Chains A and B, each alone.
Chain A
């Protein structure tokens, strides 16, 4: 593969997937095997922060890829390295540090909150990771992080998750990530459940995380338009394989792979004068949706 796997200094990539394959057994006696991620090789550089989009439809394996990057799943074949070290080894030897450096933002922020705790609980990790010298300093850090994402600390802290809107909950999770100062964020459909007017604010917050804090983001999405807005590089995933990759602008402007072309032609343009491009799909029975690989999200990020 011809990935820019290492910079001029020879520093190992921030995240590197080397011929990664992940299959799940299913069916009677678990004898059938579903391949969710198939021979994926990619790398995010360590010298500069990037937002890399993993774009694909349901069943493409994009969420499995995200779970692999977070170390929540281990690859069936191939290697996954974070800053040169195998992720599985890292978790065994220095799990806490890996869990700080690689953070997750999921589709439904409500999944992350324990309904019986006040939302303040998501900041309890400050003590665990020893990020604040004192309780008072920790509280002030939390308040300033909340303000940074446009939340009023006095109107947010002390509330329960169900009292927050989806957009507020997602911004709270971004505030949490701000405090942890990770190297990498895996954001799995972070805006697919929030309203349009909120979506822009969250996408802008992601770009700010990259530009101001130097955090790289693996942005997993089905939505090419938002990927186009925020990402520097894009990987188009189809049935577990990367079918096209490159700079986001180049791939969207001149896709080569037939599937990528069809995907881009299907994205509706928010302008009544620019109609859906490309030939419509005329195959009988429409497009098969492909084998879906259902995976539950982890219940909580600790």
Chain B
């Protein structure tokens, strides 16, 4: 195994993770072609932690989320890896065990979920369905009471239970999805772009509701997104993906204020801000890093040479505080990273 992780991050050696992903690889097969969408992805999620998984389109972030839940459909295929939740490897668990784990242990808020509610079913019945499908049919009054409590927990009135999706705004429908995802007290919520279709005022309100709901359950969350500003507001730790690989992961402040990987720095300087119009603050964050790619910017700390880097997964360097950075050797120099990002 090439990936060199410090003890705190080494999958399997950590007691305090809810979820551990090790060396996950997912590819899409086409007739005479194979696209590796996720390549050697490893990370852990601590209890109660919100981990942001960011990347541009095609970075593999959504595929990774689906693979964690073993929801990758052909032509996609999970080639290898381990996804451990509560001591069970989800990638090899038998279907019955997997069914039990999904929703109860780990819940998904899929991309565009607010538009995938059943249009001919009242919101309350859909939440009740999520409960009874996994717990069996309980006492009707108890289920109704739980639905009311869940709606309240996402700041929706009890009357919403009787309404159909088309009678709800986008923000309200997304709150219903959050209520469904948290209905069975999961330990982990995976939310894929949960606010991306919402207006900025609604986005903030729904994002805060989502954080409240998961904090109350003491659940962990993987928040998948492309909006770095939103991630800055919501996550404890940030993982940056590019072309299927993790390029940088660390505490959110470390990644934002001391980004190391050239690609992370490109992304951060590209985010517009209404409080830092000329980007002075972010330019300061990224300044002072060398662009010489003939050797790794970490210098003597890196033992990897260019020839092996192109073949293998890059080494992850620990730059402190659990802040890990992929060796950029083999990814080209800073200028070609810019070009690649722009093509």
A residues with CB within 8 A of B: 57-58, 150, 165-168, 195-201, 203, 222-226, 228-229, 249, 252, 262-276, 280-282, 284-289
Contacts and interface: CB of A to CB of B under 8 A. Distances in A.
Count chain B CB atoms within 10 A of each CB in A196, A225, A270, A282 and give the residue with the most.
Answer: A270
B98 to A, nearest CB: 34
Nearest to B337: A197
B187 to A, nearest CB: 25
Nearest to B279: A229
A198 B271 CA distance: 11
B204 A266 contact: yes
Nearest to B271: A270
Contacts of A166: 57
A268 B199 contact: no
Interface string B216-254: 000000000011111011000000000000000000110
Nearest to B56: A195
Contacts of A226: 272
Interface of B: 56-57, 155-157, 160, 169-172, 175, 198-206, 208-209, 226-230, 232-233, 252-253, 256-257, 266-277, 281-282, 338, 341-343
Given A262-B201, A264-B274, A286 B229 contact: no
Given A285-B157, A288-B169, A268 B342 contact: no
A286 B206 contact: yes
15 contacts: A57-B199, A165-B343, A168-B343, A197-B56, A199-B272, A225-B229, A268-B229, A269-B232, A270-B232, A272-B233, A272-B253, A284-B155, A286-B156, A286-B202, A289-B198
Contacts of B157: 284-285
Count chain A CB atoms within 10 A of each CB in B56, B226, B252, B282 and give the residue with the most.
Answer: B56
Contacts, number: 145
A270 B274 contact: no
A58 B277 CA distance: 24
A271 B271 CA distance: 10
B343 to A, nearest CB: 7
A200 B175 contact: no
A252 B274 contact: yes
A197 B273 CA distance: 14
Nearest to A200: B270
A58 B256 contact: no
Count chain B CB atoms within 10 A of each CB in A150, A196, A275 and give the residue with the most.
Answer: A196
A90 to B, nearest CB: 34
B201 A268 contact: no
A203 B279 CA distance: 14
A225 B273 CA distance: 5
Contacts of B269: 200
Nearest to B236: A272
A275 B274 CA distance: 13
Contacts of A274: 275
A269 B233 contact: yes
Q: 9 nearest interchain CB pairs? A: A57-B199, A197-B341, A195-B56, A225-B272, A289-B169, A270-B229, A268-B229, A266-B204, A270-B271
A74 B204 CA distance: 36
Nearest to B228: A270
A272 B227 contact: no
B272 A285 contact: no
A57 B205 CA distance: 15
Contacts of B209: 286
A57 B201 contact: yes
Contact of A229 (B156, B200, B205, B277): B277
Nearest to A165: B343
Contacts of B208: 276, 280
A135 B308 CA distance: 50
Nearest to A226: B272
Contacts of A286: 155-156, 169, 171-172, 175, 202, 205-206, 209
B45 to A, nearest CB: 18
Contacts of A271: 232, 256, 273, 275-276, 281
A165 B169 CA distance: 32
Given A195-B341, A269-B274, A281-B205, 10 more contacts: A58-B199, A166-B57, A201-B342, A223-B200, A228-B274, A265-B204, A269-B273, A270-B282, A273-B253, A273-B257
Contacts of B342: 150, 167, 197-198, 201
Given A199-B270, A226-B272, A229-B272, A289 B233 contact: no
B230 A268 contact: yes
Contacts of B267: 196-197
A265 B52 CA distance: 22
B201 A195 contact: no
Contacts of B172: 285-286
A196 B271 contact: yes
Contacts of B252: 272
A195 B57 contact: yes
Contacts of B170: 289
A129 B338 CA distance: 36
A222 B275 CA distance: 17
B95 to A, nearest CB: 37
B275 A280 contact: no
B56 to A, nearest CB: 4
